[in-house]
Amino acid sequence: MRPHRLRFHLVDKDGSWSARQRQRRAEWLIRTFPRLSEMHVIDLGGRLGTWTRATVRPARVHVVNLERPTAEVPDWAEVDQADACDLPARIAKRRYDLVFSNSVLEHVGGHERRLRFAEAVHTLGERHWVQTPYRYFPIEPHWIAPGMQFLPVRLRTAVARRWPLGHKATRTHDAAIHQVLWTELLDRSQMRHYFPQSRILVERVGGLPKSLIAVRTTIPRQRA
């Protein structure tokens, strides 16, 4: 089987191993927020397709991504091109029932920008669900490469150029190092630092932690 077909069957295909993992995570989200269908949700760094395929869709979804929005947006959704770490005032001043983010925090670009991302999460709503892959899972999830995240940048760049199961084709050194430097997996201490008042849930595969999810489900009581 050709490498790109193997990746498709492992990760991208409906019914693939990763697709089943995503479905289980979606079901976990629904159990955690049983009123999701009534909520106004902002998705930081996500894509509209996540919600068009969802078995339970929020009443309103606002997707914010660096990519240009698609031409067709359904009436229950809103799509903006913006940086979640530096939101324009027209978005930052709004409030939502739930702030959602899936596999984005590891790509925002370093500690300072992760702090700004977390600040946006806390500002936009009282409830949140922020997922990111766990650094110490033995398989690097973007390239499906064992232990790649523990290598020096030079070797990670070489793997990114040549490893056949990567999420994007990288034919040049510049393209490969760009992807490597913009992918920084997190551990539990970091997640607790960015989300100190949240529960840190652990998604496991084969008993091993695969991803971390910072969750807040209730609105804190106001002091008298």
pLDDT tens for 3-30 read 555 555 566 666 666 677 888 999 999 9
Confidence of residue 137 (pLDDT cuts 50, 70, 90): very high
pLDDT band for position 64 (cuts 50, 70, 90): very high
Q: pLDDT band for position 146 (50/70/90)? A: very high
* Tokens read off for 9: 């069957």
Model pLDDT for residues 182-223, shown as the tens digit of each residue: 999 999 999 999 999 999 999 999 999 999 999 999 865 555
CB 10 within 8 A of CB 16: yes
- The pLDDT, as a whole number, for residue 165 is 85
How big is the CA angle at 111 (ends 95 and 85), to the nearest 5 degrees? 30
- Whether the pLDDT of residue 1 is over 50: the answer is no
- The residues with which 205 forms a beta bridge, in sequence order, are 208
pLDDT of residue 166: 82
pLDDT of residue 23: 87
Which pLDDT belongs to residue 79? Answer: 96
Work out the widest C-alpha separation in the chain, in whole angstroms. Answer: 65
Pairwise CA distance, residues 162 & 172, whole Å: 10
Going by pLDDT thresholds of 50, 70 and 90, the confidence category of residue 156 is: very high
Helices (DSSP H) in the chain: which residue ranges? 3-7, 17-32, 48-52, 89-92, 111-124, 153-162, 173-181, 188-194
Q: What is the pTM of this model?
A: 0.91
Do residues 39 and 32 touch, judged by C-beta distance below 8 A?
A: no
pLDDT exceeds cutoff 90 at 85: yes
